[in-house]
Structure 1
C-alpha cells in the first residue's frame, strides 16, 4: 500500500443536510493493487448492469477511518478505508457502490450544476461562491458564512432536489443489483449499520449520512425491495468472502497500531487473513525479518499468489534489499503483467541501484506502467528521473511534459514539449507526442480532466 498524495479540500457533498457546515480536511489518497483489484471485482457486475465501461470508471481510496463514499469529477467513485473496514462483508460494499453508480447514471453531478445556476436557487449559488475563496485561503469559514444565506426558499428547494436524487440513486441501485442477480440485503444492512451508529457522532457528523441523508422513506424503500425481490436470498460466491477478509486484514495491518491488530488477529489465529495482517503490521514497525518469516510461510502455502509476492517485494525494498526486491516483484509480474503499481515499484528499486543497465530496466518497467495507467503522474516523474540519469535529455523533457500536462501546468508542459521536439527526430512517435502536448498546452482551459 502506498500513500499517493495528501491535500486540503473543502467538501460540499451532494445532499448537504440542513444546518451542516463545510469542513476543511486533509484527504490522503492511497494506492494498493490488491485492494483496488478487489473493489473492481465487487464493482464489475454493477457497472455492467448499469451499462458503464468498467475501464472508464475510476475508483479512488481515501485513507480515512470514517464511513463514507461519494461520486465526484465525472465517473469517479471515492471510498474511505473506514467504510471498507466497517463493512461486515462484500455485499455491503457492493450495495454502496450500486448506490453511487446510480448517481453516475442519473447524471446527478451535472444536474447539481444546473440547479446551482437556476434562478430558483440563487441562494444556493451564493453559497457555492464561497468555495473558491475557501480553497484559495484554506479557510472553511468562507463557506460557512455563505451557508448562512438562503436558509429558507433556496435551501429548501436544494434539499428537496437532493432528496429526489438520493431516492433516484436508491431505485437505480436495486435495479442494478437485480440485473446482476445480486441481493439488495447488503445495501439494507449497511444503511441499518449507519443508522445504529449515528448516535456515536456529534459535531463530527457521520459524513455518509450528512451527504446521503438516510430518511425513513429511503430505508423503507430498500427494506420493501428486499422483501419482494426474487434475488434477496442469493448468496455471493465464496471468493467474495475471501477477498473481503483479505482487504480488511490488509487495511487493519497497515493503518492500526499493533495492539488493535492483535485484538482483531491474536497470534493464536492462524488463518491467512490473520497472519497477513500481522505480517503487514510488523513491516510497518520495520520488523522486517519477522514480517518476511510470516510472508514466506504464506507463499509456501500459496506459491501463485501475486499479492503476497508484491508485499514481500515491498518489505525487501523498505529493508534496503533492492536486488531481492526486484526478483520478488518479477514473480508477482509473471502472474499479473498488467499491474502498473508493481512495475512502478520494481522501477524504483532499479533506480535505487543506479547504473545504466538498471536504469534501462527501470525505463522498461515505467513504460509498462504508463501504458496501463497514463494518468498516474508519478510514473512520468520517475520516468524523467531514469531518463535524466541516462543523460537522455530529449525523453526526459518529454516525460516532464507528460507529467505537466496531466497536472494542469500548461506553461510548463509547453516548455518541456518544445524542448523535446527540438531534440527528438522530426516525425518520430516521441516528436509527434510532444507536438500533441504542445498543442494541448496552447488550448484554453475547458474544464477537462487531465489526469
Structure 2
C-alpha cells in the first residue's frame, strides 16, 4: 500500500498547535470500514442514534486512541484497532465513545473547545477527511491527508463524564447481549502499560482519565452482567482478525510481518500477501491472494486486493477482472466501484468509458462526499463529450475540497452548458450557493 500524500493542512490548524503533535493520515479501506461498521452500528442503534448520521474515520496513528469531536464524528486510531484482541474490546471502546455522543458531552465542551483552539483542529481534521474520501488511490490504500492531529487538548472529559459514558457503554452492550468484559480488558491494557500522562504519554489516558474507581466499576459491571460469559460472534471475530492482519501487512515492516505471521491461518496469509506486495515481490503476493480466493471465491476484498496489486504494478488490463468480481460481490461499496472505474479509465479503451461513468455515478450516490469519485466522474463525462455534467462533477469536487477558485470556475462553466430544463440545473443552483460560503483564498501582497 502506497501512501498518497495530498497536503490539506489548514492554516487554522497550524495556528492552533501550541503543543507537540503527531502526524496522522486518514485511511479509506472498504473492508476495514465494513468491519468497524458491523461492530459500531448496533451500538449506535442501542443508543437510539441513527448510524447513518455518525461519521467514522480511521486515522493512521499507532497511538492507542479513539475520540469523538465536531459533532457526531468518531475517530479511531489504527494503533487502537491493532491492539485489540477481539471485536468485543473494540466494541467496548466504541460503546464508551457513543456514550459521550448520546450524553451530550460534546455540546457542553464547546466553550472549552473554542478557548483551546480545538474547534480549529476538528475543522481541519474533517476537512482533510473529506479531501481524502476518494483521493486518486484505490480502495485498500491509505488516503493521506497530510493533516496533523494535535493530541493534547482534544476534549479531555471530566471524571463524571467518563463515569457516565462507562455506564452508558454497559447499558448499550447489555441491550445487545454482549459482555462488558471487552471494555474492562481495554482498561487493563491501558493500566498495565504504566504510561505517564504527559506530552510523551498515552493519548487515550490524557483525554479519558483512567481511575481506579472506573476500573472497579467495570469489574463490578462484569460480575453483575448476565452476559459476562458471552463470547464474541465467530464471524465477527474473523472479520476483526482480518482487519488487524490487513493493517499489520500495510503498516508494519514487511519483513517483520512475514517472519511474525508465518502460520497457515487465513489472517496470517492475508497479512503476508500484503507484505510481499509491499516489498515488492508480486509473484509471492499473487500466489497467496490466489490461494485465499480459491478458498473463498466470493470474497470481494480478496479480489479487490488482487486488483490493486496488479493495477499498481502497471498491469491495468489484468486488474479489471478482479475489480469487477469485487464489485459483483459487494455492489453497495462506493470504494470498490471507484476502484473498478479508475482501472477502466486508466486502461484507455474508449469502450470502457460508459461503464466507468455509470460506476462513478452510483459511487457518488452512495458516497456523495467522495471527492475523488466526483473528480473521476468529471473525467469520464468529459471523455464521453458531456461537458456540462463534467463541469458539474468537477464543481462538486471543488466544493468538497473547499477550493473556491476551482469551484467558481467549474460552476461558471456548468452554468454556460446546463439549461434550466435540465434536471441537474437545480443541483447547480445548490452548488452556486455553496461556493458563496467558501472563504476565498487570501490575497498575496
TM range (shorter): 0.7 to 0.9
Q: Per-residue deviation at 1:262? A: 2.7
CA 1:200–1:255: 2 relative to 1, 3 Å: farther
2:200 counterpart of 1:204: yes
Following the alignment from structure 1 to structure 2, what is the Cα–Cα distance between the partners of residues 143 and 276?
Answer: 32
CA RMSD of aligned residues (A): 2.9
2: CA distance, partners of 1:128 / 1:181: 40
Look up the match of 1:121: none
Following the alignment from structure 2 to structure 1, what is the Cα–Cα distance between the partners of residues 245 and 151? 38
Q: Write the distance in 2 (CA, Å) between the matches of 1:419 and 1:104.
A: 42
Match of 1:385 among 361, 379, 384: 379
Between the aligned partners of 1:230 and 1:90, the Cα distance in structure 2 is: 19
Q: CA deviation at 1:64?
A: 1.1
Deviation at 1:11, TM superposition (A): 12
User: Does 1:188 find its partner at 2:220?
Assistant: no
Question: What is the aligned partner in structure 2 of residue 39 from structure 1?
Answer: 36
2:330 equivalent to 1:333: no
Larger Rg: 1
Equivalent residue, structure 1, for 2:311: 317
Corresponding residue for residue 308 of structure 1: 302
CA distance in 2, matches of 1:129, 1:102: 20
1:74 matched residue in structure 2? 71
* Counterpart for residue 449 of structure 1: none
Match of 1:360 among 344, 354, 357: 354
Aligned match of 2:23: 26
Q: Distance in 2 between matches of 1:409 and 1:319?
A: 32
Please say if residues 86 and 232 of structure 2, whose CA atoms lie closer than 8 Å, have aligned partners that are also in contact: no
Contact (CA 8 Å) 2:303, 2:323: kept in 1 or not? yes
Which among 97, 105, 114 is matched to residue 100 of structure 1? 97
Cα shift readout 1:255-311 (whole Å, capped 9, x = no counterpart) = 111232134312xx1111111111111111121121111111111111111111111
Check conservation: 2:337, 2:360, Cα contact below 8 A: yes
1:3–1:28 Cα contact (<8 Å) kept: no
Q: How does 1:268-279 map to 2 (within 5 A)?
A: 269-279=263-273
Q: Does 1:258 align with 2:254?
A: yes
Structure 2 gaps of 5+ residues are 125-145, 440-445
Relative contact order (C-alpha < 8 Å, sep 6+): which is higher?
A: 2
- Residue 234 of structure 2 corresponds to residue 238 of structure 1: yes
Q: By how many angstroms is 1:325 displaced?
A: 1.1
TM-score normalised according to structure 1 size: 0.83
User: What is the CA–CA distance in structure 1 between the aligned matches of 2:12 and 2:189, rounded to whole Å?
Assistant: 24
| Deviations, residues 38-88 of structure 1 (Å, cap 9, x unaligned) | 111111221110111122211111111111111112211111111111111
Rounded Cα–Cα distance in structure 2 between residues aligned with 1:106 and 1:201: 25
Q: Secondary structure at the match of 1:276?
A: helix
Match of 2:370 among 351, 370, 376: 376
